[in-house]
């Protein structure tokens, strides 16, 4: 086997029994891995010293009384059972929906913390990261149907509509978007090149308790939960411009096994939010019928929310369909996402305020070669 990874060596320091037999055999005979472990141990001891704190002895009984006195709300409805989704697309749609909602939440957290705000901006600085989202278990036919339709929770206003143009020249694409046209190595960029541009767009969403309740009642769904402060607050999102370059043909006959090289770049989204704190918005989301009490969804929300709150774009990865790993090339951190069949992969990275992606029917080494050429 190859050398042990950073994570395995780090865990060896804390939990040596967690090592597999093959890892242990390699480690015992590999001076390089042993040296790396010693190096990591020095850093671990250093972190331990830095993070040392005094004892935190607590009076649990007194604390319980204090919390009991402050808790005025009843617990939510019992755990819900969900049905299996028949649509494979829905398995992707839900994490994306959550990511979009959490992107808005993160916009508040980045610069605001828990305090109430009037305006806050989310501007991801990178690196891009991924969050594995576990698929729902059990019968999920009703899962997607049971989720709240967040678009019915208020009023959407399109301030600036995106204009899409396909078949423009490289010069026009660069001029329209202000983005650099990327030129990958010739051996991967076979076939004709199609440039598609998308201009910047802007929209705002204002939460409306009245509208949400009416929509839920009309659809025969559970009444949404609106904690104080949500009703009337507004989220503004600016996205793009974006440029997509397809080196070959993508049509109805395209599959993962013949997907050509696709390179995309886009200005990272900017989000502004008014009126409510991060905690309020996150609590709002996890309290909704269809989400509250569902451990998988709540875990996904928190998992996606953490990097977003730190100012990173987070890409949800359905655990049953794709894998991802961090990939730093030429000093720029990115993520490599691969579908589980191994037929298609994509590399995503961020430089400045531009997010880039390159993907297709390529393996990791090919994508890295493409990245090194254009990244």
Partner 1 sequence: MQAINASPRTGVGSRDDFERLFREEYPRVVGIANRVLADRQAAEDVAQEVFVDFHRLHRADAPYAGPWLHAAAAHRALNAIRSRLRRAKREAAYPAPVPADPAEEAERAEERRLVRAALARMPNRGATVLALRYSGLSYSEVAGALGVGVNQVGTLLRRAEAQLRREVERGTSR
**Contacts with partner 1: how many residues (CB under 8 A)?**
67
Task: Let me know: does 263 contact 247? Beta carbons within 8 Å.
Answer: yes
Residues 222-251 that bind partner 1 (CB under 8 A): none
User: Applying CB under 8 A, which of residues 26, 93, 221, 302 lies at the interface with partner 1?
Assistant: 302
24 binds partner 1 (CB under 8 A): no
Rule CB under 8 A: choose which of 25, 35, 38, 47 binds partner 1.
47
CA-to-CA separations, 259 to 191, 309, 344, 349, in angstroms, rounded: 12, 34, 8, 20
C-alpha distance from residue 177 to each of 123, 161, 197, 246, 321 (Å): 19, 14, 7, 16, 33
Least distance to partner 1, CB of residue 210, Å: 23
Nearer to partner 1, 134 or 196 (CB): 134
Q: Considering the rule CB under 8 A, would residue 70 count as an interface residue with partner 1?
A: yes
C-alpha angle with apex 21: 17 to 22, nearest 5 degrees?
130
What values do phi and psi take at 15, rounded to 5?
A: -135, 70
Q: Which stretch binds partner 1 (CB under 8 A): 185-193, 247-255, 259-267, 289-297?
A: 289-297
Site residues for partner 1, window 130-159 (CB under 8 A)?
Answer: 131-132
CB-neighbour burial class of residue 258 (10 A; exposed 0-12, middle 13-18, buried 19+): middle
Buried/exposed 210-240: b ≥16 CB within 10 Å, e otherwise = ebbeebbeeeebbebbbeebbbebbbbbbbb
Of the residues 1, 67, 86, 186, which one makes contact with partner 1 according to CB under 8 A: 67
Stretch of 125-133, 157-165, 243-251, 255-263 lying at the interface with partner 1 (CB under 8 A):
125-133
Under the binding rule (CB under 8 A), the answer on residue 162 touching partner 1 is no
> To the nearest whole angstrom, how small is the minimum distance from the Cβ of residue 120 to partner 1?
13
CB of 136 to partner 1, least distance (A): 14
User: Is 91 an interacting residue with respect to partner 1 (CB under 8 A)?
Assistant: no
8 Å CB contact between 231 and 209? yes
Q: Is 321 in the site for partner 1 (CB under 8 A)?
A: no
Is residue 92 within the footprint of partner 1 (CB under 8 A)? no
Between CA 137 and CA 284 the distance in angstroms is 24
Burial code (b: 16+ CB inside 10 Å, e: under 16) for 340-355 equals eeebbbbbbbbeeebb
- Candidate list 28, 32, 48, 161; residue touching partner 1; CB under 8 A: 48
- In the complex, the residues that contact partner 1 under the rule CB under 8 A are 5-11, 14-15, 18, 40, 43-44, 46-48, 50-51, 53-54, 56-58, 60, 63-64, 66-79, 109, 113-115, 129, 131-132, 278-279, 283, 286-287, 292-293, 295, 298-300, 302-303, 306-307, 309-312, 326
């Amino acid at each position: 086997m190859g050398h042990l990874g950073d994570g395995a060596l780090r865990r060896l320091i804390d939990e040596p029994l967690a090592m597999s037999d093959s890892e242990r055999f390699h480690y015992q005979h590999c001076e390089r891995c042993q040296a790396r472990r010693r190096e990591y141990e020095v850093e671990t001891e250093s972190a331990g010293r830095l993070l040392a704190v005094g004892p935190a002895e607590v009076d649990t009984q007194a604390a319980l009384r204090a919390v009991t006195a402050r808790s005025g709300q009843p617990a939510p409805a019992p755990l819900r059972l969900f049905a299996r989704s028949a649509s494979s697309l829905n398995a992707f749609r839900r994490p994306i929906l959550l990511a979009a909602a959490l992107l808005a939440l993160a916009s508040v957290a980045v610069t605001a913390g828990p305090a109430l705000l009037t305006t806050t901006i989310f501007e991801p600085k990178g690196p891009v990261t991924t969050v594995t989202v576990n698929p729902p278990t059990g019968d999920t036919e009703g899962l997607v149907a049971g989720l709240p339709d967040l678009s019915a929770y208020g009023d959407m206003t399109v301030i600036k509509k995106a204009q899409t143009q396909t078949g423009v020249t490289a010069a026009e694409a660069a001029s329209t978007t202000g983005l650099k046209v990327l030129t990958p190595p010739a051996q991967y960029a076979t076939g004709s090149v199609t440039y598609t541009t998308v201009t910047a767009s802007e929209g705002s969403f204002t939460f409306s308790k009245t509208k949400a309740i009416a929509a839920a009642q009309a659809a025969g769904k559970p009444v949404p939960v609106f904690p104080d402060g949500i009703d009337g607050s507004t989220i503004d999102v600016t996205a793009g411009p974006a440029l997509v370059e397809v080196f070959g043909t993508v049509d109805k006959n395209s599959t993962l096994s013949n997907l050509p090289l696709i390179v995309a770049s886009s200005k990272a989204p900017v989000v502004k939010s008014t009126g409510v704190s991060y905690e309020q918005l996150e609590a709002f989301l996890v309290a909704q019928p269809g989400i509250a009490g569902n451990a998988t969804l709540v875990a996904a929300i928190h998992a996606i929310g953490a990097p977003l709150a730190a100012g990173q774009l987070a890409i949800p990865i359905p655990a049953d369909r794709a894998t991802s790993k961090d990939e730093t090339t030429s000093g720029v951190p990115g993520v490599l996402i691969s579908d589980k069949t191994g037929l298609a992969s994509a590399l995503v990275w961020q430089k400045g305020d531009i997010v880039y992606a390159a993907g297709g029917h390529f393996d990791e080494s090919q994508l890295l070669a493409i990245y090194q050429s254009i990244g």
